[in-house]
């Protein structure tokens, strides 16, 4: 049997292979996805309300199909579909109607740890409904996944900011020393990333248009930015990762040429980017496009020493907070991007890379201008499939 290292050695570095699986233990996505749960919690009421409203609008049908695109593994894997199922069943009870059969489809890339996901089912509320049928549908959501007109309610959280591949830059090393767009980076780099996002999101919408029934809804949450031009804070997670890589290159620990040749398959769009692609594809009407900021500070269990407000009035005067934020952030980022990083830079570099990264993050969170500023902008985009006449 091939080892994980042997399997990943043949994977193109520009593709997102998978999150760190459960076998990675401490660095696994399952153990480092609390922040993604915080993001999902922001939209929970709206998602539940829309599931119930859809069920009513469709005339309380005998069956409903629910899909989660990019479910990953770990404690969040069943979260989004469980919310939808619970809302629909609550609505059926409220109307004294028989519960519908609920077909639940869990999608992620083929290398996702679906076995770990299905081990969660026996203890999940989904198993106790008696009317919920769960299956896995591996594959990229940038291609077709489901039969024509088979879906009613589609969710995706913390996934669509990852592209199908890194953009093709006009000239070699155009993004020298960086791994993503930067505030002061070349305009051509931003243009290339935007073009790749446009192509990918257009493909995503086109596929979902074929698979979704009229009046079906897509509820999409992913990283975004507020302005057309990214700010330094929009890019800081990738800028600091690039700084860590360049520091390792200077120390002879990784090849500098590999740093220059690596571009992350990731893009955080602005509202204009989203509106343009939705209008171009044409099959969906925008029902909601809401930007919101989230912070890991919501996860922090405050100790007595951290309850006093600092001079900014934010209650985060604890001197340990920057270190805690850095450790949490580095853990989340490592769980998500390590598979593609080690494919490009090698396994031996990973511990050193993320140690340097954590220290750079701590310095960022201690800086006077960015103290404890770990907020991330997300978009909650709700699209409804247009009816054809």
pLDDT in tens, 79-113: 999 999 999 999 999 999 999 999 999 999 999 98
% of residues, the chain, pLDDT over 70: 89
**Confidence band, pLDDT 50/70/90 cuts, at residue 388:** confident
Q: Residue 141 has what pLDDT?
A: 98
- In this prediction, residue 28 carries a pLDDT of 80
> 4-302+313-385, which class in CATH?
alpha beta
Higher pLDDT, 303 or 101: 101
Contact 169, 188 (CB under 8 A): yes
Give the contacts of 9 (CB within 8 A, at least 6 positions apart): 343
pLDDT of residue 3: 40
pLDDT in the model for residue 23: 52
| pLDDT of amino acid 1 | 37
Domain boundaries, the chain: 4-302+313-385
Tell me: the pLDDT tens digits for 203-230? 999 999 999 999 999 999 999 999 999 9
pLDDT of residue 22: 59
Please compute the mean of the pLDDT values over residues 263-286 and round it to a whole number.
Answer: 98
The token duo for 139 is 């594959």
pLDDT over threshold 80, residue 39 = yes
Answer whether residue 10 shows pLDDT above 90.
no
Q: What is the per-residue pLDDT for 319?
A: 86
pTM recorded for the entire structure: 0.90
Instruction: Name the average pLDDT for the chain.
Output: 90
Token duo for residue 325: 């934020």
pLDDT value for 12: 38
What distance in Å separates the CA atoms of residue 297 and residue 341, rounded to the nearest whole number?
27
Q: Please report which confidence band the pLDDT of residue 304 belongs to, taking 50, 70 and 90 as the band edges.
A: very low
Q: What is the pLDDT of residue 128?
A: 87
Cβ neighbours of residue 317 closer than 8 Å, sequence gap 6 or more: 306, 308, 309, 310, 311
Evaluate if residue 300 carries a pLDDT over 90.
no
Count of CA atoms in the C-beta half-sphere (13 A) of 22: 14
Query: What is the rounded distance in angstroms from the CA atom of residue 330 to the CA atom of residue 96?
Result: 49
Residue 164 has pLDDT above 80, yes or no: yes
Report the C-alpha gap between 372 and 317 in whole angstroms.
10
């Amino acid at each position: 049997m091939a080892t994980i290292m042997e399997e990943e050695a043949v994977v193109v570095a520009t593709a997102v292979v998978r999150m760190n699986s459960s076998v990675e233990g401490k660095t696994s996505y399952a153990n480092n996805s609390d922040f993604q749960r915080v993001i999902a919690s922001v939209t929970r009421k709206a998602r539940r309300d829309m599931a119930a409203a859809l069920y009513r609008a469709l005339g309380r049908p005998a069956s409903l199909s629910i899909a989660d695109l990019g479910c990953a593994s770990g404690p969040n894997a069943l979260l989004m579909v469980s919310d939808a199922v619970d809302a629909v069943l609550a609505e059926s009870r409220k109307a004294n109607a028989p519960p519908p059969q609920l077909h639940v489809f869990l999608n992620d890339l083929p290398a996702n740890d679906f076995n770990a996901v299905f081990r969660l089912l026996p203890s999940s509320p989904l198993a106790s409904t008696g009317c919920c049928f769960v299956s896995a549908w591996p594959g990229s959501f940038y291609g077709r996944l489901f039969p024509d007109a088979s879906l009613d309610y589609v969710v995706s959280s913390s996934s669509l900011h990852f592209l199908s591949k890194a953009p093709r830059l006009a000239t070699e090393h155009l993004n020298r020393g960086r791994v993503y767009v930067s505030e002061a980076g070349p305009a051509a780099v931003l243009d290339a990333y935007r073009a790749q996002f446009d192509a990918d999101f257009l493909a995503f919408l086109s596929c979902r248009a074929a698979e979704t029934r009229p009046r079906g809804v897509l509820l999409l949450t992913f990283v975004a930015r507020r302005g057309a031009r990214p700010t330094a804070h929009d890019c800081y997670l990738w800028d600091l990762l690039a700084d860590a890589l360049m520091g390792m290159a200077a120390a002879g620990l990784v090849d500098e040429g590999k740093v220059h040749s690596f571009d992350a398959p990731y893009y955080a769009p602005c509202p204009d980017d989203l509106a343009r692609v939705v209008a171009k594809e044409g099959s969906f009407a925008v029902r909601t496009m809401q930007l919101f900021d989230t912070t890991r500070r919501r996860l922090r269990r405050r100790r007595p020493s951290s309850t006093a407000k600092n001079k900014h009035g934010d209650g985060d005067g604890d001197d340990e907070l920057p270190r805690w934020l850095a450790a949490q952030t580095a853990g989340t980022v490592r769980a998500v991007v390590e598979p593609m990083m080690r494919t490009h830079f090698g396994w031996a570099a990973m511990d050193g890379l993320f140690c340097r990264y954590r220290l750079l993050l701590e310095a960022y969170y201690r800086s006077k201008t960015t103290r404890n500023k770990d907020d991330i902008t997300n978009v909650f985009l709700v699209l409804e499939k247009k009816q054809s006449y």
